[in-house]
Structure 1
Amino acid sequence: MISREETLALWKAQEATVRARLAAPGIATLAQLKERSGIEFLQDIWEGKLPSLLIGDTLDFVPVEGEPGRIVFQGTPGRKHYNTLGSVHGGYFCTLLDSALGSAVHSMLPKGSGYTTLELKVNLIRALTEKTGPVRAIGKVIQVGKQVGISEASIVDVDGKIYAHATTTCLIFPLP
C-alpha cells in the first residue's frame, strides 16, 4: 500500500505537470467546441491546445486526470477561499464538484453536443481549511443519454477522507 507521503508527492507532481502544460485561461470558441467530442475537447484543454478554465484560475484548481466518464480536478484550499467563519466557503466545494460533475458528463458527449447543469445537489460532510492540503473532486458518470446526463462526485483528501459528495443532472443539447 502506498503511504500518505507518497500519495501527497504523487498528487503534487501530477498537478505540477498539468499546470506546466495548461494554456493561459480563456474561453474556447463555439467552433472549437463543435468540432470535437467532449473528451477530445477536454483533452485539448489539458494538453494546452485550448485555453484553460477561467474558474480554475480564479479558485486555483486544475484537471489532473480524465477518461470518458471519469474526470478528476485537484486544488489546495487556502485562506483566500475562507468564509467569515474561518473555513473554506461552500462555494469552493460546489464549484470544484460542479466542474468534476459537468466535465464527467461532457467527456461522454459526441461532436456537436453541449450540456448545462439543471440540478446540483451537494452534501458538505466536513470543513476544509488551509491545513487540509490538496483535495480532489472525482467525478463519475452514472448515465448519459440523448437529452440527460447524470453524474456523481466526491471531494477527498490524500488519505481518502470524504469532505463532500454531490450529484448532478445535466441537460444535453445540440450546439447551435
Structure 2
Amino acid sequence: MGEGRFPELSDVSAHIGQRVVAAEPGRVELAWTPGEHLCNPAGGVHGGYIAMILDNAVCFASASTGAHFVPQLTLNLTIDYLRGVQAGETYTVVSTCLKPGRTRLVSTALITDPQGRPMAQASGSTVPNQAFAR
C-alpha cells in the first residue's frame, strides 16, 4: 500500500463511496463521495457513516506502515464532528500514522470539504489483525 499498490477493497467501500487516491508509508488519502442513502432523516450524512470513513482512514494509515497490507482492528476511535457532511459532495480524507508498531499503532484522520474546511477529525489506535498476517 505504501508503494502505491492498493489492496482490493470490500463492497463496503463502494457502498459508502470511498476510494483510495494516494498512499505512502504512514499516510493515506481517500476521496469520499457519500450518497443520499447514507443520510439521516434531517438530510445530512449520518454520523455513523462519518465515523466509518474516519475508522477506515485510520486503519489504512496504520496498515500502510507494514511490509505488506494487513487489515487492522480498531482498539479505540475518538471523533470530533465539526460541520455537517452533505451527500453528493466529494470530500478529502487524509490519515497519518503517528506511531507505527508491531502490536499497537496510533493514527489520525481529517475530512475536509472541497474548500479545504475541516468537517470531522479522529484519532485512533489499531492492532494488526493476526488472522490475515503472513
State if a TM-score over 0.5 links the two structures.
Answer: yes
- CA–CA distance in 2 between the matches of 1:144 and 1:85? 39
Instruction: Provide structure 1 residue ranges, at least 5 long, that are not aligned to the other structure.
Output: 1-37, 46-50
- Percentage identity across aligned positions? 25
| Structure number with larger C-alpha Rg | 1
TM-score of the aligned structures, taking structure 1 as reference length: 0.67
Maintained 8 Å contact 2:27/2:95 = yes
Secondary structure (helix, strand or coil) at the match of 1:43 reads coil
From the superposition, tell whether residues 39 and 128 of structure 1 become closer, same or farther in structure 2 (CA, over 3 Å): same
Q: Secondary structure at the match of 2:56?
A: helix
* Separation of aligned partners in 2, 1:107 and 1:119: 18
Of Structure 1 and Structure 2, the greater helix share is in: 1
Q: How do 1:7-22 and structure 2 match up within 5 A?
A: none
Partner residue, 1:43: 5
Match of 1:172 in 2: 128
User: Normalized per residue, which structure has more strand?
Assistant: 2
Deviation sequence 1:115-172 (CA, Å, 0-9, x none): 31111111111101136x2101110010112211000000001211000000110123
TM superposition score normalised by structure 2: 0.86
Structure 1 residue 122 and structure 2 residue 84: aligned? no
* 8 Å Cα contact 1:147/1:173 also seen in 2: no
Q: Which residue does 2:13 correspond to in 1?
A: 56
Paired residue type of 1:103: F
CA distance in 2, matches of 1:69, 1:96: 17
Residue 145 (1) aligns with residue 108 (2): no
Unaligned 5+ residue runs, structure 2? none
> What is the distance in 2 between the residues matched to 1:112 and 1:156?
26
After TM superposition, the runs of 4+ consecutive aligned structure 1 residues lying more than 4 A away are 111-114
CA-atom RMSD in angstroms: 2.1
Correspondence 1:83 to 2:40: yes
